[in-house]
Amino acid sequence: MSMLQVYNGNDMTNLLFATNNKAKIATALAEVGVRYEQWLTDSGLQPGASQDAVIAAYQKDIDRLIDSDGYQAVDVVSMNPTHPQKDEFRQKFLSEHTHSEDEVRFFVAGQGLFSLHIGENVYEVLCSQGDLISVPANTPHWFDMGPEPSFIAIRLFNNPEGWVANFTGSDIADHFNRLGED
């Protein structure tokens, strides 16, 4: 289930807003410049599916985004709990960072937690199957796939080099929720 929680400042006890209504999630995120939309996901693909199979299943939507927003590269991240590098990959994304381009993710299956540090607030967006999120360039954020990741995400890039992070050095991510942990 998709969810948005908005916290004030560095204090995760100061919850300002929470909803699992996708229209309200889209509206709240649009107000801070974040794109959030839903795509149909009837492909039956499961974590571990090949990149070629995933891209072929969503080629029409991918082409629409490439045509409208000029993306130059597309790839797929497919993680399951038995992936030998799951802990290494999780750690890579848990620290606050930015990108010089928008970070676009579409969840074909499973879920992941994006946390966006916008102004004085932190927006935690639990993305699930069918959700597309586009984090604007230079927005501080982090991502948690959880200790037992199980998801497929299509990634679109304006930079042909793909995912390039600029870490902020802030420890803010350490003070917020983690996916699948109490």
DSSP H or E run through 113: strand 103-118
Could you read off the pLDDT of 101-133 as tens digits, one per residue?
898 999 999 999 999 999 999 999 999 999 999
Please report which residue ranges of 31-173 form alpha helices under DSSP H.
51-57, 59-69, 86-94
Could you read off the pLDDT of 11-24 as tens digits, one per residue?
788 999 999 999 99
Q: Which amino acid is at 120?
A: E
Could you read off the pLDDT of 61-91 as tens digits, one per residue?
999 999 999 888 899 998 889 999 999 989 9
pTM beyond cutoff 0.85: yes
Local structure of 61: helix, strand or coil:
helix
Cα-Cα-Cα-Cα torsion 150, 154, 159, 161, nearest 10 degrees, comes to 50
pLDDT at 11: 79
CA atoms lying within 13 Å on the CB side of residue 156? 25
**pLDDT greater than 60 at residue 25:** yes
**CATH number belonging to domain 37-110+127-175:** 2.60.120.10
